[in-house]
Amino acid sequence: MIQTIGVLTSGGDAPGMNAAIRAVVRAGCANGLRVMGIQRGFQGLIDGEIKELTARDVSDTLQRGGTFLQSARCKAFMEEAGIVRAIEVARVFGIDAVVVIGGDGSFRGARDMSRLGMTAVGIPGTIDNDINCTEYTIGYDTALNTAMDAIDKIRDTISSHQRCSIVEVMGRGAGHIALSLSIANGAEAVIVPEKDFSIDEDVIKPIFACRNRGKKHYIIILAEGVGKAEEIKAAIHEKTGIEARISVLGYIQRGGSPTARDRMEASRMGAHAVEILLRGCDSRIVALQNGEITDIPIEEALNMKKSISESDLALTRILST
């Protein structure tokens, strides 16, 4: 019988993580569980940076960006010895199960903890929305809205000066943010790491086509995992004579107060993680499927890369004409 649960945030921070922690704490307390907050992800677990969180301790966190438990990347967790040590420390604090809020790397850590004897469940918290089997990850909506506003502002300036802007957005090896923004911002072209691309076909040709129709500005959205911003900028100048500027949105996209969608999904997912533990399940993550909150084995979420939407790619091309 689980009596005490730990909660931690791991990997890149995402807006809405605080709302998820709050939901875990309050749903846990409402079900008679003791909840321990673990600082700095897996590293804080190894270092014993753990203290009890009551329902009142999470007041005034729902609307805040970042994670008040802080996050970290922990090398020691890549080795079995580090995970065994973390489990020993968790036991010292009376922890029977850990809720891990993070991305796929964090879920590998959670899966390995559960293989070594500590019950662990995950909540998808990453702006990248790149976890297989869930339609949504906490932070995605806020990141999209923040980046969309920034690109709207860039657009005002480039259309006043008849320029081209190459906007690099986050997503490491995933192009979901870039593709959604290409629709939301009406980009002329989008380049994602999941698809091979040719500068001539996918950038230069669309620019010429737009120019022939009288367009005066061009927005190219580039997922950071592709790299090549400088190469694309040089090719645009050389082949079209248009001056291109590179804007890297960077951390701006990760920060800020979560949107209503992120607060709501994070709250539902946090409460569901507690339900999974009360059911006696292990090594599962919370997922959104067909609009409903459910849960799936961690292994299922990890064993395939989430594919990019072909219909959204086609839509970007159609709508930029």
Does the protein bind ligand ATP through residue 105 (CB under 6 A)? yes
Q: Within 10 Å of residue 80's Cβ, how many Cβ atoms?
A: 11
Among 108, 211, 239, 245, contact with ligand ATP (rule: CB under 6 A): 108
- Three-state secondary-structure class, residue 187: coil
Nearest to ligand ATP of 42, 218 (CB atom): 42
**Total of chain residues touching ligand ATP, rule CB under 6 A:** 18
Does the protein bind ligand ATP through residue 42 (CB under 6 A)? yes
Among 37, 102, 175, 270, contact with ligand ATP (rule: CB under 6 A): 102
Does the protein bind ligand ATP through residue 49 (CB under 6 A)? no
Instruction: Answer yes or no: are the C-beta atoms of 127 and 104 closer than 8 Å.
Output: no
Nearest to ligand ATP of 186, 297 (CB atom): 297
Nearest to ligand ATP of 254, 263 (CB atom): 254
Does the protein bind ligand ATP through residue 140 (CB under 6 A)? no
Task: Give yes or no: 128 in active site.
Answer: yes
Instruction: Answer yes or no: are the C-beta atoms of 10 and 109 closer than 8 Å.
Output: yes
> Least distance in Å: CB of 216 to ligand ATP?
37
List for the chain the helix, strand, coil content (%; round to 5). Answer: 45, 20, 35
Among 104, 194, 262, 295, contact with ligand ATP (rule: CB under 6 A): 104
> Least distance in Å: CB of 14 to ligand ATP?
7
Instruction: Answer yes or no: are the C-beta atoms of 177 and 170 closer than 8 Å.
Output: yes
Q: Within 10 Å of residue 108's Cβ, how many Cβ atoms?
A: 17
Among 15, 28, 103, 206, contact with ligand ATP (rule: CB under 6 A): 103
State the Cα angle at 122 between 271 and 19, rounded to 5°.
45
213, exposed or middle or buried, with CB in 10 Å at 0-12, 13-18, 19+?
exposed
> Least distance in Å: CB of 54 to ligand ATP?
27
Does the protein bind ligand ATP through residue 171 (CB under 6 A)? no
Q: Are strands 50-52 and 34-38 parallel, antiparallel or unpaired?
A: antiparallel
In this structure, which amino acid lies at residue 245?
Answer: R
Among 62-70, 98-106, 160-168, 215-223, which window interacts with ligand ATP (CB under 6 A)? 98-106
Nearest to ligand ATP of 37, 124 (CB atom): 124
Nearest to ligand ATP of 8, 53 (CB atom): 8
Among 106-114, 144-152, 199-207, 277-285, which window interacts with ligand ATP (CB under 6 A)? 106-114
Pick from 159, 168, 188: which is nearest to 316 by CA? Answer: 188
Catalytic, out of 13, 104, 112, 128: 128
Among 8-16, 219-227, 245-253, 265-273, which window interacts with ligand ATP (CB under 6 A)? 8-16
Instruction: Answer yes or no: are the C-beta atoms of 37 and 69 closer than 8 Å.
Output: yes
Rounded to whole angstroms, the Cα distance separating 35 from 33 reads: 6
Rounded to whole angstroms, the Cα distance separating 96 from 108 reads: 19
Pick from 141, 138, 147, 99: which is nearest to 122 by CA? Answer: 99
Among 64, 73, 85, 215, contact with ligand ATP (rule: CB under 6 A): 73
Nearest to ligand ATP of 164, 285 (CB atom): 285
> Least distance in Å: CB of 237 to ligand ATP?
34
Rounded to whole angstroms, the Cα distance separating 111 from 83 reads: 11
Write out the catalytic residue numbers: 128
Contact residues toward ligand ATP (CB under 6 A) are 10-12, 42, 73-74, 77-78, 102-106, 108-109, 112, 126, 128
